Amino acid sequence: MPNSPLVIENLTFQYRTRPELAIEAISFDLEPGEMLLIAGSSGCGKTTLARCINGLIPRSYGGKRQGRVLLHGKDVAEMQIAEVAQVVGTLLQDPERQIVASNVYNEIAFGPENLGLPRDEILARVEKAMKRLNIEYLRDRETFNLSGGEKQKVALAGVLTMNPSILLLDEPLASLDPASAYEALDVFRSLADEGKTVVLIEHRVEDAISAKPDRLLYMEDGHVKYLGPIHDLPKEIDHHQVKLPAQWVVDRVKAADETVKAVSRPEARERGEALVVFDDVDFRYNDESPLILQNVDLEIRRGDLIAILGPNGAGKSTLVKHAIGLLKPTRGHVLVEGHDTRKISVAQIARTLGYVFQSPTHMLYAPTVREELEFGPKNLHYEQAVIEKAVAESVSTVNLSGLEEYPPLGLSFGQQKRTTIAAVLAMQSKIMIMDEPTAGQDFANYTRFMDALCRPVNGSQSIVSANFAATLFITHDLDLAVTYANRVLLFGDKHIVADGPPEEVLKDVDLLLKYRVRPTSLLHLNLELLPRTGQFLPAEALAAFA
């Protein structure tokens, strides 16, 4: 319908630098108050479609475009970018790319200020957005010191102050703890109920469907494979590519009579010596700031596969930054292989600990992916043959083959994240630490590299799988802990509130909820079947017991 907020007619686009079509013959329209969930694996065309909607294509990305994108009846290609920005409010995957101000309040006010609105109107919009997202407590904070999840909320508040009629949300849940994610989804649903048109692009499909999207658009290889309601699992959706509710996967596997491969959580390896020790650690940034860590005692031992869970802003990233020497304790000691981090350099620690930052932009700088991956091993003075083998295996593990000569900062967010993981893999440190490894990743890609890290194959092992004495991952994806960890740390109130095997820590649902970790369908099904399975399993493997 020409007067609908968003109409897409036979849209096709090919990037100038790519031989294949990014999207082809896409058509749909959205009405006021409608919420559309867009899902699909990395590279399927979701982000390209988003760029066509918000005007970045054809302005910022060159190529051949056919078809039309109409915003309230006007072709986006014929509108000024400032005009498009007032109609389409875009929330990017990586809040680091969206935040421009040093102060939270100024960041949220930035958009309406640029519209030249009266001061009273700006102040009212800012207050309304902060209240809606429950972030009044961040009002006077510096944006640089926020956690990834807090930055995401601030970026969303900045979008809301623009009062767009169409909200384009590109993986808005990626950095949010489970409770915050559901709060955000409630906000999205309420905005749609108030008449906004909401386009939600999300890998966390199970979470997203709780917002009751009106329709699901599922994409593969630039094409729309399914567009319709989400009453049940559409047959067109490949459960190997997109993570879906556990019972849906079990039903699909059983209905198809698939042979379930023998999959188990990584076996509890014999725990060896302590590699990293936190001894009664406190930390605050300065004498005036509050404590972020308090009375933290922790040992990371050989054989540990640790998932660190907890709410946004709890101090999880601060904890691991102490292990790699970027931060030093205000009180207490952190020992890496017996050495106090106050007395050794970050470069020395890198031989023991490799760290993947939450935001890829904090790590990437080299002109090509290959040079990015070679940088660490070269600085650790590895032989060239070892470097080449490590780089090749790392590229294969994270599914970046063919992109070795691409500039990292020109890749998609998910590809950038995998590049940072590969860069640390190639360093061959003893301990791998990843901050939100699944952010921006589709189910198939992150399953591939997590299997390589946590399920080494007996016999002939690659450098990647054989190398790590211990692996830690900070995550808001509870299913990652269910599937891969042999030890779970629940972090909150400035210290570790629970530490033990997943089957023990994750059965205390009240404790999880207290610290904003929301149980998933996979956890519930595993707890139900635990007497029969004896261990937590992926959804496909549970089909043999359900």
Domain boundaries, the chain: 6-237, 274-502
- pLDDT tops 80 at residue 440: no
Determine the pLDDT at residue 287.
85
Name the DSSP letter for residue 461: -
Please tell me the predicted confidence (pLDDT) of residue 269: 56
For Cα atoms 274, 276, 278, give the angle at the middle one, nearest 5 degrees. Answer: 110
Residue 134: HSE in the Cβ half-sphere, 13 Å Cα cutoff: 10
pLDDT for res 546: 80
Contact yes or no for 298/278 (Cβ under 8 A): yes
Position 150 pLDDT exceeds 60:
yes
Max mean pLDDT among 173-177, 212-216, 426-430 falls in 212-216
Using the predicted structure, report yes or no on whether residue 259 has a pLDDT greater than 70. no
257 — pLDDT class (breaks 50, 70, 90): low
SS3 of 64-113: EEEEEEEECCEEHHHCCHHHHHHHEEEECCCHHHCCCCCEHHHHHHHHHH
pLDDT score for 136: 94
- The amino acid that residue 427 corresponds to is M
How confident is the model at residue 428, as a pLDDT?
87
**Residue 357 bridge partners (DSSP):** none
Strand segments (E) across 273-376: 274-283, 293-301, 305-309, 331-336, 339-340, 353-356
Paired strand residues for 39: 218
Sheet harboring 215-220: ordered strands across? 88-91, 166-170, 197-201, 35-40, 215-220, 223-228
Average pLDDT, the chain: 89
- What is the Cα–Cα distance from 466 to 453, expressed in whole angstroms? 8
Q: What band does 450 get if pLDDT is binned at 50, 70 and 90? A: confident
Spatial distance between the Cα atoms of 46 and 30, rounded to a whole number of angstroms: 16
Summarised one tens digit per residue, pLDDT across range 278-328 is: 999 999 988 888 899 999 999 999 989 999 999 988 899 899 999 999 999
What CATH code is assigned to 6-237? 3.40.50.300
The pLDDT tens digits of the residues spanning 66-102 come to 999 999 999 998 998 888 988 999 998 778 888 889 9
Give the CA count within 13 Å in the CB-facing half-sphere of 412: 20
Nearest to 326 by CA among 428, 433, 430, 438: 433
Cα 246 to Cα 334: distance, rounded to the nearest angstrom: 40
What is the full DSSP assignment across 139-208?
TT-BGGGS-HHHHHHHHHHHHHTT--SEEEEESTTTTS-HHHHHHHHHHHHHHHHTT-EEEEE-S-HHHH
For residue 191, what pLDDT band results from cuts at 50, 70 and 90? Answer: very high
Residue with tokens 């139900």: 528
pLDDT digits (tens, 9 = 90+) for 399-433: 899 989 988 887 877 888 889 999 999 998 889 99
> Would you state the torsion angle of the CA atoms of residues 414, 46, 396, 439, taken in this order, to the nearest 10 degrees?
30
Is the pLDDT reported for residue 46 higher than 80?
yes
- As a whole number, mean pLDDT of residues 43-48 equals 87
Q: What pLDDT does residue 467 have?
A: 62
Domains 6-237 and 274-502 share a fold: yes
Tell me the pLDDT band of 460, cut-offs 50, 70 and 90. Answer: very low
Place of tokens 């990371």: 300
Structural contact between residues 111 and 176, judged by C-beta atoms closer than 8 angstroms: no
**Confidence band, pLDDT 50/70/90 cuts, at residue 480:** very high
Q: Rounded distance, CA 253 to CA 249, Å?
A: 6
CA geometry: angle 128, 50, 172, nearest 5 deg: 45
Residue 167 has pLDDT above 50, yes or no: yes
Residue 501 CB partners (closer than 8 Å, separation 6+) = 268, 486, 487, 488
- What is the rounded CA–CA span in Å between residue 524 and residue 324? 35
CATH 3.90.1150.10 assigned to 274-502? no
Separation of alpha carbons 490 and 478, rounded Å: 11
Residue 497 has pLDDT above 70, yes or no: yes
The 10s digit of each residue's pLDDT in 367-410 is 999 999 999 999 889 999 999 999 999 998 888 999 899 888 87
Contacts of 538 (CB under 8 A, 6+ apart): 263, 483, 522
Q: Which amino acid is at 531?
A: P
- The mean pLDDT value for 240-259 works out to 83
Residue 464 pLDDT > 70:
no
Share of the chain above pLDDT 90, in %: 59
Neighbouring C-beta atoms of residue 60, cutoff 10 Å: 10
